[in-house]
Structure 1
Amino acid sequence: MSRIDRSLGSAVQMTMRLIYPPRCLGCGGLVESDFGLCAACWSDTPFIGGVVCDGCGAPLPGGQRGETAHCDDCLRYPPVWARGRAAMMYAGQGRKLVMALKHGDRHDIAAPAADWMVEAAEPLIEAGMIVAAIPLHWRRRVKRGYNQSALLSRAIAKRLKRFDVIDQPDLLQRLKRTDSLEGKGREERHAILCDAISVTPRHIAKLQGRPVLIVDDVMTSGATFSAASIACIAAGAGSVSVLALARVGKAS
């Protein structure tokens, strides 16, 4: 790109900022940079930091950042996948952002959310891994118009290009339309999702022996991630890790 082209590009960006100044993703107020949160919304967003469970990403008290630890639930019910992380808790502004992305057609949230998720997922990333999304049943996909998890997985894969990851949002397919999981217990959720997800046949060869990162918007009991992980492992994947934008807090 020539110096003239760069100058023209900068001028266009400055003009666009004057016409369409950056807005907070949460409240819509003015902010200094694109895809940002204002101070109030940032403080109300429960980002996960410090020591977390290596299995599900739940925050844990005490310890030192970077140490490997597991929550009581993961010790009692070891997850099917190898490791898991989440960027924030599903509460406060975190819940509002997820709901806006999922049901509010707010595709603009995917880019900053991917930045937060990549930071949380740093210990999980392996060279050459496949980045995949939790699939929607085709009827739900048509009704909603998009798969929010695929928006996240594609944005995450773009940020992990230096690791030669494979962007494959359609690696998995939803075989049957399941009932809503809202209000269901752990065992019921796992039963509903049993055999509901499989690897898309045309991608099975690509999957052999490769590590996989499965992406979703919310982790609750882990039932959806379990079904997807079982499908990948059964089809010949290497290690499977999971990554959520937000995770529901566990009962104490």
Structure 2
Amino acid sequence: MAQTTSSVNFAVALNLLLPPQCLGCGVLVETTGGLCGECWSAITFVGDPACARCGLPFEFADAQSNSKLQCASCVRQPTVFARARAVMAYDDASRHLILAFKHGDRTDAAPTYARWMARAGADLLDQADLIVPVPLHWSRLFSRRYNQAALLAREIGAIARKTVVPDAMWRTRRTPSQGRLGALARRRNVGGAFKVRRKHLTLLAGRRVLLIDDVMTTGATANSSARALLRAGAGAVDVLTLSRVLRPFPAL
């Protein structure tokens, strides 16, 4: 009881000294890790009705649409992963949030983003046996000092009380940035770039894996990662991202 009271008092004192600021614009907000009303209203949240496979929202559909409907792209060329969900669209309103988290050391945003992801992907989390983040190449991890996908995976695992395997995969080579590449170039760029560590083969065998990343653009990284996990023996792979591009593809 005393420890709980002490923690509350510390949090109150910290808020007085360092008032919570909006993750988007920096204005004062009521709670740490929140957005102000203006920034919140500018975000395009991704929801149903959407493709049952890749999670792309349907432009013309109603809430009563068949929950098993797939978009034309998935019907034509099914994804390697089973299902994907995302919190928000990657667009002008969200780009600065994502880039600040990805490249700007805003690791303090991870708990907030993880809560959003846990809600958006609740159905995927319920069925997941393991949570695995998309890995960075060691050289990129060295320069950036953290893997944003691993931070999200850790927080989501704590929320859902699921096992997180942060080092399940590794990148076999340093792939050029996907930011300005088209769909075909992205697939070629990350093709065969992921491998599963042998020490985790038994753990992964037959399990349903939830793959975590910050952004989905064409799905090339998700497909390549899922392919590696399935070849290593995983039973199925779902994908949960903080944001996704809804077309066309802006630079990351």
TM over 0.5: yes
Counterpart code for 1:183: R
The 3-state SS of whatever aligns with 2:46 is coil
Cα shift at 1:95: 1.2
Q: Deviations over 1:192-242 (max 9, x none)?
A: 211110111211111011110001111011110111000000000011101
Counterpart code for 1:64: A
Q: How does 1:128-167 map to 2 (within 5 A)?
A: 129-161=129-161, 165-167=162-164
More moved, 92-101 vs 179-188: 179-188
| 2:53 is the alignment partner of 1:48 | no
The 3-state SS of whatever aligns with 1:125 is helix
More moved, 182-191 vs 167-176: 182-191
Q: How does 1:188-227 map to 2 (within 5 A)?
A: 188-227=185-224
Cα shift at 1:49: 2.2
More moved, 40-49 vs 208-217: 40-49
Cα shift at 1:92: 2.5
Cα shift at 1:14: 1.8
Q: How does 1:1-252 map to 2 (within 5 A)?
A: 2=1, 4-61=2-59, 62-64=61-63, 67-127=67-127, 129-161=129-161, 165-251=162-248
The 3-state SS of whatever aligns with 1:226 is helix
The 3-state SS of whatever aligns with 2:85 is strand
Counterpart code for 1:37: L
Paired with 1:75 and 1:182, the residues of 2 have a C-alpha distance of 26
Cα shift at 1:32: 1.0
More moved, 141-150 vs 5-14: 5-14
Paired with 1:52 and 1:251, the residues of 2 have a C-alpha distance of 18
Paired with 2:204 and 2:91, the residues of 1 have a C-alpha distance of 35
User: Is contact 2:128–2:210 with CA below 8 Å preserved after alignment?
Assistant: no
Paired with 2:188 and 2:128, the residues of 1 have a C-alpha distance of 33
Distance 1:251 1:7, change over 3 A: closer
User: Is contact 1:126–1:211 with CA below 8 Å preserved after alignment?
Assistant: no
Paired with 2:181 and 2:4, the residues of 1 have a C-alpha distance of 54
Distance 1:110 1:91, change over 3 A: same
Cα shift at 1:128: 5.6
Counterpart code for 1:199: V
Paired with 2:196 and 2:237, the residues of 1 have a C-alpha distance of 13
More moved, 72-81 vs 211-220: 72-81
The percentage of counterpart residues that share the same residue type is 40
Paired with 1:84 and 1:55, the residues of 2 have a C-alpha distance of 6
Paired with 2:6 and 2:188, the residues of 1 have a C-alpha distance of 58
Q: Which stretches of structure 1, 4 residues or more, deviate above 4 A after TM superposition? A: none
Cα shift at 1:129: 1.2
